[in-house]
Amino acid sequence: MVVLNILFALLRTMDSLLQFDVTHAYLVVFAAVLLDVIALPLIAIPVLLMAGGLAATGKVSLFLIIGFATVAAAAGDTLWYSIGRYASPQLMGFMERTGGKKQEYLLRSIRFIQSYGVGFLLISKFVPGLASLACPAAGIVNMSMSRFLLMNGVSRIFWAASVSWLGYAGIPYSTILGQAF
């Protein structure tokens, strides 16, 4: 229950931020999605839901919201792919030092990439937590850059469009959060 209260407070704050100045809504979406992919998980979905709702009012373009979110997510994913591909020993060392289950989850993601290939990369974007590990895993297993960019781009378009559309369709945040938790 505490988690829901925190998320609702965060939603109200972000809603105010998006409503404050619609000329900066695209930058807010870009920044929130990039931060979500790189380091602060769970902030992109509420921002995209609100941006989709704002697009429904006609104040911003849903197409541009999806575009900015896709580019930001793809940029962050490409960074993680590059870290996995070119710095995997350092990444694994960091995971060992920080402990926890992250290293185990990364190893599991590597096995899934090896078993299911791009199918896993496509599906992972819709599973919070898994999305952040699929990209370095793809780099670690040396998936070709062109294949990664194509499949990751397609999956991020679907992800950004589906989340933004939920906000555009007017589905209440509480309904989405209630089903998620």
Write out pLDDT tens, residues 85-127. 888 777 777 666 666 666 677 778 888 888 888 888 888 888 8
Distance CA 159, CA 107 (A): 24
Q: Which residues contact 123 (CB under 8 A, 6 or more apart)?
A: 155
Q: Determine the angle formed by the axes of helices 62-86 and 130-140, rounding to 10 degrees.
A: 50
Q: Give me the pLDDT at residue 65, please.
A: 96
**22: its two tokens:** 């619609």
Distance CA 98, CA 114 (A): 25
Please, what is the average pLDDT of the chain?
Answer: 81
How would DSSP label each residue in 81-131? HHHHHH-HHHHHHHHHHH-TTHHHHHHHHHHHHHHHTHHHHHHHTTSTTHH
The amino acid occupying position 138 is A
Q: Which residues contact 4 (CB under 8 A, 6 or more apart)?
A: 177, 178, 181
Residue with more model confidence, 147 or 13: 147
**Is a pLDDT exceeding 50 seen at residue 82?**
yes
Enter the pTM of the model.
0.79
Which single residue is written with the structure tokens 């938790």?
181
**27: its two tokens:** 């930058």
Please give the tally of structural domains in the chain. 1
Q: Which residues contact 45 (CB under 8 A, 6 or more apart)?
A: 36, 128, 163
Proportion of the chain above pLDDT 70, given as a percent: 75
Task: Calculate the alpha carbon distances from 124 to 2, 89, 137, 159, 171 in Å.
Answer: 27, 23, 11, 10, 23
pLDDT digits (tens, 9 = 90+) for 143-175: 999 999 999 999 999 999 999 999 888 865 555
Distance CA 14, CA 59 (A): 16
User: Which of 22-26, 28-32, 61-65, 73-77 is predicted least confidently?
Assistant: 22-26
**Domain range for 151:** 2-180
